[in-house]
Each structure stands twice: as C-alpha cells, then as structure tokens.
Structure 1
Amino acid sequence: MQDSEVAYLKFDQDQARTLAAASQYLADLGGPQAPGVASQARQWAQRLQPILDASQKAVLQRFADGQLSALMCSQMTCPGSDPVPEHLPQLATLAQSERCLYLASRNQLLLALASYRAFAFDIDNEGQIVRLVGNFKGGGSVPRPGEEHNTRIELSSHAGLRLGPHTEAPYNCSVVAREGRSPAPSALILSARWNPANEPTRIIPLRGILEQLGSLHALALTSASFDFTRSDCFVAGQGDAGKATTMLQFDPNGGFSLRYNSYRFSLNDHASDAAARAFDAFQALVRDAQPLPFVLQPDTALLVNNNRALHGRDILQDNRRLLVRLFGYSRFASPVVLNDDPLLVRG
C-alpha cells in the first residue's frame, strides 16, 4: 500500500536542462518573494508540460489531485559547483545567496508543475515564502560553535533537535479557511543545498494507518477533542495554541485530511473516553510505523502532501545540512488572502 502512496518523477537530460534554465530565470527575477515571479512560474510550468511524457504527467496529476502522500523528483541539475563549507553560514547570508535562490525558484516551479501555489503565512517565518531548514540555533548531536548547553533550544526547523512525525501548522483547518484563519499547507516541497551525512527526511503515509485504526476510532478523531501548543517558529506575538479541535476531516478531493504533531498534540480535558482510546491507538500506530527515508541532495526535491502524510527527521548529525522549503496550496484550498503577489495569507 505504501508504494501506491509514493511516486517518483525522473527528468531526462533535456527536461533537466529546461528546468534548470527556467529556475535560473526565476531566480534572476528575485525568486519566490519577488512580485511577478509566481505568474512567471506558472507560465514556465505550462511550457514544460509538452516535453513531459504521459507517465510523468500522470504522476503529477495524481499529486495535484491529492492522491499521493509524497512525490520524489530526481535527476535535476544545478549550475556551477557548491562545495560544503566548514561551518553553516549565517541565515541572513544564506537567504541572499544565489544557490538558495535558485533552489527556492526550482521548488516554486515544481509546485507549479503540480498545480500548487507557493505562499507564506503572516504568522510564520517572518511572512517569507522561502524557509531555510538548518541548525541555526543549536540542539544537534554536535554543538554549534559557541553553543551553550544550558540554553533552551526551540523545537523548530531552525534547530538541530529531532522533529517527530508531524504535519505542518497551523492546525485549525485543512482545506477551507475557518474563523478567519487560513488552512494548513496542502503541501510542502524540500530540496537540499548541502546534506553531507546523507541524513534522511522520513515520511509516514497516513492512509494505511487510518485503515488499521478502524472506522470507529477514525470517527472519534473527527470530534473536537484535541489540543495543540503554539509553534516555536511563529512570529512573536502572533499565532495561538489550540483547544478542542479536530484531527481528521473528510475531504472530497483527497478522501481525508489529517492534522497532527507528535510533540504538540494532546488530549483535551473534556474529551470522551472514545476519543481518548482513538488518540492512544493512533499514536501507537504512528510509533510502530516504519517511516520511508528520502535522502535529499541538490539534484532532488521531495513534495509532501501535508493532508495525508507525516514527516520528520532524527537529530542532526552534521550541522552543515541545509534544506530549502516552500509551502504550497492546492487548487482546492481557500485561504484568507492578505496579499496576492507574492501570496501571503492569514494564519
């Protein structure tokens, strides 16, 4: 069953060259945060469609329709050499670098190929579309230069701590905005600038877990019985914890959508015994699941369906590992739009 939840998209040399040229064009315009680039990405995606074969188009359509947990893209190219540094540079330096801008632009183009829109939340990542995922704040297996052992390390993708299985926040709704809050990302895309220790991103498809869980337990997960804590990556003063929310909802486009975080979700004090049993059973199945490992490098990118898959990683072994992440909304998502170009939504 897991094989049916994951697909692979390999580009041939001609396709890779065209993809690289398009990505560089978008990067030269300023990348995903620059006005007008989203429209250019959609236009390039339309130009790329005719050079894809039938099987590649079918795989992209499955992801666009919400029928896959993950899609691994491979055999892509990057311009020039980019040796791994001795230490991870400062975040501000990396954010302005040509290579990160290129990878972010390619990610935006791949999202567009799958009919997704890159976007940012106003409450997260300082309202920026591109998130650089690396150990900037400590917590990895090897201390960063100057890292103090008694410092509290935030539990986010800007630290080196283990991140247990989770979907991406916010956790209030999944597809349509509710009470003035936009839904969680439909998808995320990750690529690696550096990954010298070949440390994997781990994916747990949720369809099989829900099938094992059974109908009554799954029904209990649709009740407003769960709490979650505030995400550490939210902008100061914005974003709240949640009380008495649901985990699972029916989605006519993908079949279901689930919101969960192994280190942020808990049972509400007023939850029923049935909801408590369902939560325990779900967490046990997640603990026992065998995650699928995906080792990212500059020539690959991983699209993750945030409605039907959990993702996570182990504690970082090499602090130079750096991923480039973008969020995407599917054509079914209805957020609260604050700015159209670049797309910024209320979280």
Structure 2
Amino acid sequence: MQDSEVAYLSFDQDQARTLAAASQHLAELGGPQARGVASQARQWAQRLHPTLDASQKAVLQRFADGQLSALMCSQMACPGSDPLPEHLPELATLAQSERCLYLASRNQLLLELVNYRAFAFDIDNEGQIMRLVGNFKGGGSVPRPDEHQHTEVELSSHAGLRLGPHTEAPYNCSVAASEGRSPAPSALILSARWNPAGEPTRIIPLRAIIEQLGSLHALALTSTSFDFTRSECFVAGQGEAGQATSMLQFDPDGGFSLRYNSYRFSLNDHASDAAARAFDAFQVLVRDAQPLAFVLQPDSALLINNCRALHGRDILQDNRRLLVRLFGYSRFARPIVLNDDPLLVRG
C-alpha cells in the first residue's frame, strides 16, 4: 500500500530526453559547483515544467509545499555506458568524473523543479555542493583493500557503517537562521551511480509518529531539553555539539520540522520528566517503525524532506555502492548566505 507521505514521479521518453540533455549541458559547464550553473538549471526547469501533465505538476507542488516526506523520481536516462569497477575509485577522481557531474547536475535540476536551491555549508564537505556517498573510509561488511583492522571509523556518509535513522545536521534550527547558524537542509536528493547489490536507502515518515505521540508529548519535544554531539564530517575545529535545544518546531509555512539523530541525540541533564517521557516514547516509535525501502539506480533519484522524514541505511555490503547527494533549501528557508553563486551558507 502506498504511503500518503510518499509520492512517485516518472517521466515519459520526451521528458527524459530533455532531462538528459539539460543534465549533460550543466555537467559540461562544470556541474553544481560552477558559477552560473544554478541559473542555467533554473532555466532548464522552467523549460521542462510546461511539458509535465497535471498529475506530475501536482506531485512536484506537494513536495515544494513541504507536504511530502519523500518523492521518488524514475525513468530518467543516463547516456553512455558506465562499467562497474572492481573497486571504488578514489574520491578525488570520482569528484571530477563526467558521470558524477552528470548525476549531480540532474539532481540540481530536480531540486529546481520543486523550487529548491542546491547549496553547501562552509564547514562541511569542503564547501562543495556535490557529496559522494560511499565507503571511502572503511566500516563496511567487507573490509576495503586499504583498511586496517581495529581502526576507528567515523560515523559519516564517507564510511560503510550502518547509519541509524536521522535528519541531516546541523541541529540548531530548521527554517530560519538562529544565533549565527544557518538552518538544517530542507531536503536532500540522492541518486546512485553504482548500486550492484541493490542496497536500499530507508525512510521513516514522521507525521504518523508525531500523531501517535499525542499533543503533550509533541509539546514536550518543542522544549529546549535535548543535547546532540558534533558531526564527525564537519571541518576540524568548526561546528560544535549542542546543548538545550529542541527537537520539534512548528512553522506556519512548512508545517512541522523535526531534528533528530539516533546516535547523536540525548536528553539534557536539566530536562523535565515530561520531556524525558516524550523522548522515550519518540524513540520507541522510531525503533518500531517499518522503514520504507528505496533502491536507487542511475535512472532514479530520491528527494527526502529533511524536516519531515528520517533516513538511514544498513552496513554496506558492496563497497562499490556510490550515491551522489545534494542538499537543498526550500523557498521558506532563511540561511546566512556567504556566497550566492554557487550558494554557500554559514554552518
């Protein structure tokens, strides 16, 4: 049965050809990190939009309005062959490859179709908009050729460890900048270059969980009763842990927004008993939830509402799995902008 929080969008052959031509053009300009590409992506999205039928436009508008947890896009072309390598190439090599730039450019175009802006944080991913998600640092089910036993592996998308249910950092605010910090991403979009074992990305929509919590527990989650640890993928010396922050926020534009990480969040020492009960109840509901599984391949992309859904994955089984990820801000987000083109914000 289809979840009302999740929608599916497929493109016809003509639309897929336009997407492919646009993505190739943007990639040849240098991809999302190149100056001027964001405006080009917006123009391509405006050209593509009139070719969509009413149902396609309605689905895109629901995501744009923040009313969906996830949107799966399918039936998109990837020109040319892309043989599966014996081992995952080096990160620097992949970042410059035509295929990764193509997928990143297509992701940027899909973000524009839902009126989202691709961006990067200054303290994360070296300020780059495109992030490659793969086992570059170890921790997968099968050790990497260069992996040393007993080496501690960081909990990040550059490793193969299991990542429990979470929203993307930072966790201080969700929609508007606060105390010199930009809000968390409104969304992320993932596409797969290689996924030979068909390993899924798992999504937990949050609306049903919040409704099950009830009004008093939900109210307690809006209190500043929670702590979180610093993300390991932030630039050394930048970013920090947080204390006495809220998890749930209600906003007149985007409805509700929740910030949470199953391995970084804890109860603050000064939290009330009501907040402790709410936190326990929330974690039980997340633990017992049945995640929705999405197997990504080069012809598909998954848009995840970072305010309305948790996402995660199991330990990687095939170290050649490689996803291409972009962050996006909705029209409601108000970050601290450091550079407009490409969009860079203060983390």
Letter in structure 1 aligned against 2:26: L
Once residues 176 and 255 of structure 1 are traced to their aligned partners in structure 2, the CA distance between those partners, rounded to angstroms, is 14
Letter in structure 1 aligned against 2:250: F
Shift of 1:2: 6.6
Q: Report percent identity of matched pairs.
A: 89
Once residues 5 and 305 of structure 1 are traced to their aligned partners in structure 2, the CA distance between those partners, rounded to angstroms, is 10
Aligned equivalent of 1:266: 266
C-alpha RMSD over aligned residues: 0.8
Aligned equivalent of 2:300: 300
Q: 1:2/1:245 Cα in 2 relative to 1: closer, same or farther (>3 Å)?
A: farther
Whether the 8 Å contact between 1:201 and 1:296 is mirrored in structure 2 is yes
Once residues 56 and 3 of structure 2 are traced to their aligned partners in structure 1, the CA distance between those partners, rounded to angstroms, is 16
The one-character-per-residue Cα deviations of 1:11-53 (angstroms, maximum 9, x if unpaired) are 0000000000000000010000000000000010000011100
Q: Which runs of 5+ in 2 are unaligned?
A: none
1:225 maps onto 2:225 in alignment: yes
Whether the 8 Å contact between 1:166 and 1:311 is mirrored in structure 2 is yes
Once residues 154 and 260 of structure 2 are traced to their aligned partners in structure 1, the CA distance between those partners, rounded to angstroms, is 19
Aligned equivalent of 2:90: 90
Whether the 8 Å contact between 1:2 and 1:208 is mirrored in structure 2 is no
Once residues 291 and 31 of structure 1 are traced to their aligned partners in structure 2, the CA distance between those partners, rounded to angstroms, is 32
Aligned equivalent of 1:129: 129
Aligned equivalent of 1:332: 332
Shift of 1:253: 2.1
Shift of 1:146: 2.2
1:17 maps onto 2:17 in alignment: yes
Shift of 1:207: 0.0
Shift of 1:267: 0.4
Shift of 1:333: 0.2
Aligned equivalent of 1:99: 99
1:113 maps onto 2:110 in alignment: no
Once residues 146 and 295 of structure 2 are traced to their aligned partners in structure 1, the CA distance between those partners, rounded to angstroms, is 29
Aligned equivalent of 1:64: 64
Aligned equivalent of 1:138: 138
TM-score by length of 2: 0.99
Aligned equivalent of 2:244: 244
1:179 maps onto 2:179 in alignment: yes
Letter in structure 2 aligned against 1:180: G
Question: SS in structure 2 opposite 1:158?
Answer: coil
1:314 maps onto 2:305 in alignment: no
Aligned equivalent of 2:5: 5
Once residues 251 and 283 of structure 1 are traced to their aligned partners in structure 2, the CA distance between those partners, rounded to angstroms, is 23
Once residues 190 and 238 of structure 2 are traced to their aligned partners in structure 1, the CA distance between those partners, rounded to angstroms, is 25
Once residues 7 and 16 of structure 1 are traced to their aligned partners in structure 2, the CA distance between those partners, rounded to angstroms, is 18
Aligned equivalent of 2:167: 167
Letter in structure 2 aligned against 1:174: S
Once residues 300 and 328 of structure 2 are traced to their aligned partners in structure 1, the CA distance between those partners, rounded to angstroms, is 18
Letter in structure 2 aligned against 1:341: D
Q: Which runs of 5+ in 1 are unaligned?
A: none
The one-character-per-residue Cα deviations of 1:257-290 (angstroms, maximum 9, x if unpaired) are 0000001000001101100000000000000000
Once residues 158 and 2 of structure 1 are traced to their aligned partners in structure 2, the CA distance between those partners, rounded to angstroms, is 31
Letter in structure 2 aligned against 1:142: V
Once residues 256 and 43 of structure 1 are traced to their aligned partners in structure 2, the CA distance between those partners, rounded to angstroms, is 31
Whether the 8 Å contact between 2:254 and 2:332 is mirrored in structure 1 is no
Question: SS in structure 2 opposite 1:26?
Answer: helix
Once residues 209 and 280 of structure 1 are traced to their aligned partners in structure 2, the CA distance between those partners, rounded to angstroms, is 13
Aligned equivalent of 1:53: 53
TM-score by length of 1: 0.99
Letter in structure 2 aligned against 1:50: P
